[in-house]
Chains A and B, each alone.
Chain A
């Protein structure tokens, strides 16, 4: 069986290297990649960086403007904002990536099944997807987070579930496009079972647009997490996330504007980074432009 499988070419590897070459020529995509990597490394290095405890309060240093001692200033409880920004990066990036993983892990299999089998299975999955897509993403995430209870984990689940239908629809459409290809016919003719055909022949060939969508959805998810935390439905005090920092900061807008400035800039940079990267990946992985 294995010998037979290897005779059926699956054109994936070559496309990847060509895509990478195109990526390297795309300056804005590289900028996006650098921004994303910068924040990822910063977030990962938070425990070993020589920064103060992000939750340690200091009554002697309340709402101090940026200075040599506190590069980005301090907040209403005298906590170091730089440290909270770095630890907050962890919460925000994790929330963005994990919620998109939830959406992909649930959405892609449903999309695969729906597109591959067709018939009534497809009908049911498509109707449910349409219904879920009719509910605005953020309103659904807020409602889910409200009913699940406020916490960072629940916010991730809420965002992931709200983003899931996008991946069902995308995957289904892609599967419909490739399922009539010769190599799928070939795989079927040598008697492979449905699961093997779906995971080894169809999935690798529909993965490029899913990667692009996932990258762009991380951007949306980071804003959604910030929004939920801003409303008090995400990260809970005293642990920092960029959204929850903004929630406190809005109360000290005129007294301590720097408290509002930094988290917003950070969200903007990370989100634009993921958007640039996603757009670049789309151009690089688009076979029509080769």
Chain B
């Protein structure tokens, strides 16, 4: 197993290098010269030259890239223009908020998606299956941010049940924290629930038509036992991989969800950084999400092997 993990980490290195080149070239897309903006009105040639030297912009592009990469590898992602904080520290501060949101969203996605998926598979080609499909398709087609706005209108403005915005740390006031997060987590979990439902259904359909399920039925197990202990455990494997793949979608969805519900997390930071032209932060965000995505995939592969005894022997 350690050898397998080591191999997988080695394979990830070229991918990460390519991502870093992409992220580095992002700043070169910027229209205009940032130095001219920094030099102010007079545009004194000496000041401009000084700034170019200071930020090493006189170096050839590959040297600039290597300098930048050297910083990134040692955890120096630059300084936020807006808050003057190191980018990595800023991301570290905001991430726990989004992780709470993501975990709650995942919870909603699972309690909605998995049972409906199982039900649709068991009742394949009946009206239950078709209804489940329509629900899933609607979940995928509703723009998340619009669903969020409509929920605020209905639940907060009309009914006054839940707060429309705000955030409280779960360690300070757990009840208030959960209260403010329920709607955003539901909104974020909704699209994932649809994907999860579809995959659970197809995985279950495949398992339910296999020979050992026929045997389990033939030896007189109750339908519940057949579905839960014989089928679902095997259908779970592809679903777990999917959860890791959905990690990226969760983070991307958090951008708009946090914006709507004004939650001070990773997503809101992304939008704020974009609008204050805090480009070092935007670069840091893209890089961190990509690294996170690669790590999640690795974890999913490991979980896949651990949960599947047939694969364990091969590694």
Check if B255 sits within 8 Å of A142, measured CB to CB. yes
Q: Which of A131, A223, A232, A250 contacts B19, CB < 8 Å?
A: A131
Interface string of A120-161 (1 = CB under 8 A from B): 000000011011101111111011101111000000000000
Q: Which of B19, B27, B259 contacts A134, CB < 8 Å?
A: B19
Chain A residue total in the interface (Cβ 8 A): 44
Chain B proximity of A290: nearest CB distance (Å): 19
Interface string of A242-280 (1 = CB under 8 A from B): 000010011001100100110110011001100110010
Check if B22 sits within 8 Å of A131, measured CB to CB. yes
Check if A253 sits within 8 Å of B152, measured CB to CB. yes
Check if B15 sits within 8 Å of A130, measured CB to CB. yes
With a cutoff of 8 Å between Cβ atoms, the chain A residues found around residue B153 in the complex are 253-254, 257, 260
| Docked pose: A134 CA to B294 CA in angstroms | 6
Chain B proximity of A160: nearest CB distance (Å): 15
B28's nearest neighbour on chain A, judged by CB, is A147
Check if B143 sits within 8 Å of A272, measured CB to CB. no
| Docked pose: A230 CA to B271 CA in angstroms | 11
Stretch at the interface among B41-49, B180-188, B245-253, B300-308: B245-253
For chain B, what secondary structure do more than half of its interface residues adopt (helix, strand, loop), or is it mixed? Answer: helix
Check if B149 sits within 8 Å of A227, measured CB to CB. no
Check if A140 sits within 8 Å of B286, measured CB to CB. yes
| Docked pose: A226 CA to B143 CA in angstroms | 8
Interface residues of B (CB under 8 A from A): 14-16, 18-19, 22, 26-27, 29-31, 137-138, 140-143, 145-146, 149-150, 152-153, 157, 248-249, 251-253, 255-256, 259-260, 270-271, 274-275, 277, 279, 282-283, 285-286, 289-290, 293-294
With a cutoff of 8 Å between Cβ atoms, the chain B residues found around residue A137 in the complex are 248-249, 252
With a cutoff of 8 Å between Cβ atoms, the chain B residues found around residue A226 in the complex are 143, 145-146
B164's nearest neighbour on chain A, judged by CB, is A253
Given A147-B27, A230-B256, A253-B157, A135:B146 Cβ within 8 A: no
Check if B143 sits within 8 Å of A223, measured CB to CB. yes
A72 interface contact, C-beta 8 A: no
Q: Which of B141, B157, B270, B279 contacts A254, CB < 8 Å?
A: B157
A231 interface contact, C-beta 8 A: yes
With a cutoff of 8 Å between Cβ atoms, the chain B residues found around residue A136 in the complex are 248-249, 251-252, 289, 293
Check if B22 sits within 8 Å of A132, measured CB to CB. yes
A219 interface contact, C-beta 8 A: yes
Given A131-B15, A134-B294, A230:B145 Cβ within 8 A: yes
| Docked pose: A144 CA to B27 CA in angstroms | 10
Given A136-B248, A146-B282, A271:B255 Cβ within 8 A: no
What are 22 pairs between A and B in contact, CB < 8 Å? Answer: A127-B15, A131-B18, A134-B294, A135-B286, A143-B282, A143-B283, A143-B285, A144-B29, A146-B279, A148-B29, A219-B141, A226-B143, A226-B146, A232-B275, A249-B149, A250-B149, A253-B149, A253-B152, A264-B143, A268-B138, A272-B141, A275-B137
Check if A231 sits within 8 Å of B259, measured CB to CB. yes
Check if B146 sits within 8 Å of A260, measured CB to CB. yes
A86 interface contact, C-beta 8 A: no
Given A127-B15, A147-B30, A147-B282, A138:B137 Cβ within 8 A: no
B291's nearest neighbour on chain A, judged by CB, is A134
Check if A138 sits within 8 Å of B285, measured CB to CB. no
Q: Which of B141, B150, B277, B290 contacts A135, CB < 8 Å?
A: B290
Given A128-B18, A142-B270, A135:B289 Cβ within 8 A: yes
B250's nearest neighbour on chain A, judged by CB, is A136
With a cutoff of 8 Å between Cβ atoms, the chain B residues found around residue A232 in the complex are 275
| Docked pose: A253 CA to B248 CA in angstroms | 30
| Docked pose: A268 CA to B138 CA in angstroms | 8
Can you list the 5 inter-chain pairs with the closest CB atoms, starting with the nearest?
A: A138-B252, A136-B248, A131-B18, A264-B146, A272-B141
Chain B proximity of A254: nearest CB distance (Å): 5
| Docked pose: A82 CA to B47 CA in angstroms | 54
Check if A271 sits within 8 Å of B149, measured CB to CB. no
| Docked pose: A263 CA to B150 CA in angstroms | 12
| Docked pose: A270 CA to B27 CA in angstroms | 35
Check if A268 sits within 8 Å of B141, measured CB to CB. yes
A100 interface contact, C-beta 8 A: no
| Docked pose: A148 CA to B277 CA in angstroms | 11
Check if B19 sits within 8 Å of A227, measured CB to CB. no
A168 interface contact, C-beta 8 A: no
Q: Taking A128-B18, A260-B149 as given, write out 9 further A-B residue pairs in contact, using a Cβ cutoff of 8 Å, ordered by the A residue number.
A: A127-B15, A136-B249, A139-B270, A139-B289, A143-B274, A233-B274, A257-B153, A264-B142, A272-B138
A137's nearest neighbour on chain B, judged by CB, is B252
Check if A149 sits within 8 Å of B31, measured CB to CB. yes
Check if B19 sits within 8 Å of A135, measured CB to CB. yes
Chain A proximity of B75: nearest CB distance (Å): 20
B148's nearest neighbour on chain A, judged by CB, is A250
Q: Which of B18, B150, B251, B277 contacts A139, CB < 8 Å?
A: B251
Chain B proximity of A192: nearest CB distance (Å): 34
Q: Which of B140, B146, B274 contacts A267, CB < 8 Å?
A: B146
Chain B proximity of A15: nearest CB distance (Å): 24
Check if A268 sits within 8 Å of B145, measured CB to CB. no
Chain B proximity of A129: nearest CB distance (Å): 9
Chain A proximity of B82: nearest CB distance (Å): 14
Chain B proximity of A89: nearest CB distance (Å): 15
With a cutoff of 8 Å between Cβ atoms, the chain A residues found around residue B27 in the complex are 147
Q: Which of A142, A219, A227 contacts B274, CB < 8 Å?
A: A142
| Docked pose: A263 CA to B286 CA in angstroms | 30
